[in-house]
Chain A
């Protein structure tokens, strides 16, 4: 974290929000989204608003420069910015504030650049609109400078290119460049890196930090990740259901969360849990509690990831068990259809991947997007055929299996996928969805199947009344529970979890992780856990395979990988887990 003393901190606040109320017009009247929010940001400071989806954090930020969607209105309170009352500004007046005095960096780099205009065009129009430069040549020169600052080395060449020719990280650099192009006093960064790979996220946030410090721009940082917020901002504001529940210096809130909701967040954040376990094992056994640690309270019960990790370690079998999954030299090559002149080629999605998973344990396959981790999972599930290599399940080679033996294999191995909104057929009710595997495998009669469905609903802590309900009546976490129940219906030995918790809010994610740990010790399940999130791995996995560009670059026990990473890439991944700075600073 940057040393706050090096930042110029004036005495008058740059931004002072008082009692802000924002509502959304609906057919049933105004639905409040932000209620009575106060916050103060000093010039040059960084303040982070943390909360889950629906907490009102983005709405608060958008209200400042009136980027609320059509139905959104500021219904009360004041927004004082640099001596100006923004809440009473007209659209026309606001145009002069936006870009010029308050920069904005949006969330998803993929959708925030207009696909039909070149990147240069989009930078130049910003420069022109905010009067930073005039005249074709000056504007162009300035645009190149902006992109160079944003970290695009060959900026003058890339000016003519279109957004789809840029990677996600590059696009986010462009958006940051645009946001800072007129040296604004304040930058609003709305989850600027949530859509990016962790290592890219870290590099971009470092860069953003350097830039804003050099310019002296204050930053209002919106994020769902408490660890990230604490690492990047001096001040934290925690929002919950449209209200601020706790606010203050980052470090203090993390070490001493007072509001029960903040306590929940601290207990459930994987990045923090991972750090805590890290420091507990890194320091001697007598010094098991770091400064950040605190006893779980009533409100964090069932959410504490450290407790979950301990439960897993305790239930781990002492004696060596046989391997449930063995993968040998697994390779998948995709033919890329040639478009245009002679560009047809091959994509090696998995390159001689070998690992083994001991029965009753969890192995995590970790990697960034395009690392081939999901391809490996699909091959193990026999949803894709390997180009070469071998997969042994309980010692049996699965490649030649067909018909009945393949059906029997499927029965012993079930997947849970990432997208909670796509994992259930929206037109089948929950009962039929969970019962489908039983039907396909002809297990029991109707009443027996119904009883099993009810039992499974109980196992994943869902009420039995859901049996006749449809997926769109459920939240993401509940859908994921249903997906787990479906996976468990045939009493499999192996469950392949493909990013099964990645799309969930932290608290729900913690709940599901806890549920998975309980189910594992109860049913002696073997997990293959596919994820991009190393922090979660620390909590749930016994062994880790780190994948990069189709290869396993490092494979060892979780403790070994975290305490003593052998590969440069693994170290990069570890360093990219948000919150690194906090522990080291303690």
Chain B
């Protein structure tokens, strides 16, 4: 297992370098003045431009700029936002809120997706299964902002069950509707994936052998069918985390949740290019870390990977 962890960590290094380089390249290696381009049709004041020019070391050759920027990232320095506040300070303030929302959404996604998918898969071809398949397909097709607006309209405005915007401090009860919105698309994907995985596993030889051994259905379903079905589900959930990050940006923006996503959302809406770049970098780093963690978790889930000599 130690070898497996080490190997995974080593493999993550080139990807980390590659992604940060790619982002930096996209922004600062373009012809013309990258800073002016980042402000679009707005004209920033010269003082701000000068400050940013120094912050990004734009007087240096490109490759030097990149390594100085990379060094900054390792020290936790992601630059400063438009208001002059350090991005790391904004993160410290907003991150706990986003974590709360994300955990809530992940719980909804996993518990709902796995349970509904399992039940659907075990009752293949029945009414419940058919309904779950169609409803999940519809949800997958809906853009997250449409789901957010419909949720806001139906549960916030029409039924009045939830606040349409989150109050300051972001208490849990206010986060429930945004969490459901955020979880919805991944939830639908997980239902379909779990269902397919359960049906496939249930048809495998070792399940028949488990019946042959005299085990009861009540034991076989969780221990042999569900346990094995989780392996592809977890793999999927890791790559799907990117969808969750984008979703968080939109959802936090619409529900006014004071998290990392809303900060990015507002920066995008206001066309504050440098801040957008900083926050996208942060999100990509989060994505990389989550994928790494899931990869390690995967080793726990599947002994065939753990024990590769």
A touches B (Cβ under 8 A) = yes
User: Which residues in A have some Cβ–Cβ distance to B below 8 Å?
Assistant: 65, 67, 69, 91, 95-100, 103-104, 106-108, 111-118, 125-126, 129-130, 162, 164-165, 175, 178-179, 182, 188, 339-341, 343
Q: How far is the CB of A309 from chain B (nearest CB, A)?
A: 37
A126 touches B215 (CB 8 A): yes
B214 touches A112 (CB 8 A): no
The residues of B that contact A130 with a CB separation of less than 8 Å are 213-214
Asked whether B204 is an interface residue with its Cβ less than 8 Å from the other chain, the reply is yes
User: Which residues in B have some Cβ–Cβ distance to A below 8 Å?
Assistant: 3-4, 7, 203-206, 208-217, 219, 223-224, 227-228, 231, 301-304, 307-309
Instruction: Tell me, in angstroms, the Cα distance from A378 to B219 when the chains sit together.
Output: 48
B304 touches A98 (CB 8 A): no
The residues of B that contact A165 with a CB separation of less than 8 Å are 307
Instruction: Tell me, in angstroms, the Cα distance from A65 to B212 when the chains sit together.
Output: 8
A112-B205, A116-B227, A126-B215 known; A339 and B308 CB under 8 Å? yes
Most buried by A among B204, B209, B216, B307: B209
The residues of A that contact B212 with a CB separation of less than 8 Å are 65, 67, 98-99, 103-104, 106, 179, 188
7 further A-B contacts with Cβ under 8 Å, apart from A98-B212, A104-B212, A340-B3, are: A99-B214, A107-B205, A115-B228, A116-B227, A126-B213, A178-B213, A341-B3
B303 touches A164 (CB 8 A): yes
A111-B204, A339-B308 known; A116 and B209 CB under 8 Å? no
The residues of B that contact A96 with a CB separation of less than 8 Å are 214
With CB as the reference atom, state the residue of chain B lying closest to A184. Answer: B214
With CB as the reference atom, state the residue of chain B lying closest to A190. Answer: B212
B206 touches A111 (CB 8 A): yes
A125-B219, A339-B7 known; A98 and B308 CB under 8 Å? no
From B208, B302, B303, contact of A67 by CB (8 A): B208
- A sample of 8 cross-chain residue pairs with beta-carbon separation below 8 angstroms, ordered by A number, consists of A69-B203, A99-B213, A99-B214, A106-B205, A111-B204, A111-B206, A114-B227, A129-B214
Instruction: Tell me, in angstroms, the Cα distance from A117 to B224 when the chains sit together.
Output: 9
With CB as the reference atom, state the residue of chain A lying closest to B204. Answer: A111
B228 touches A116 (CB 8 A): yes
With CB as the reference atom, state the residue of chain A lying closest to B225. Answer: A114
A164 touches B304 (CB 8 A): yes
The residues of A that contact B228 with a CB separation of less than 8 Å are 114-116
Most buried by A among B211, B223, B227: B211
A106-B208, A125-B223 known; A164 and B213 CB under 8 Å? no
Instruction: Tell me, in angstroms, the Cα distance from A586 to B216 when the chains sit together.
Output: 47
> What 6 pairs across the A-B complex have the smallest Cβ distances?
A99-B214, A104-B212, A340-B3, A111-B205, A98-B214, A162-B303
A114-B210, A339-B309 known; A95 and B216 CB under 8 Å? yes
The residues of A that contact B4 with a CB separation of less than 8 Å are 340
B209 touches A129 (CB 8 A): no
The residues of B that contact A182 with a CB separation of less than 8 Å are 214
The residues of B that contact A100 with a CB separation of less than 8 Å are 214
B307 touches A164 (CB 8 A): yes
B209 touches A104 (CB 8 A): yes
From A97, A117, A178, A343, contact of B309 by CB (8 A): A343
Q: How far is the CB of B110 from chain A (nearest CB, A)?
A: 18
A114 touches B224 (CB 8 A): yes
The residues of A that contact B211 with a CB separation of less than 8 Å are 67, 98
Most buried by A among B203, B212, B217, B304: B212
Instruction: Tell me, in angstroms, the Cα distance from A108 to B3 when the chains sit together.
Output: 31
The residues of B that contact A112 with a CB separation of less than 8 Å are 205-206, 208-209
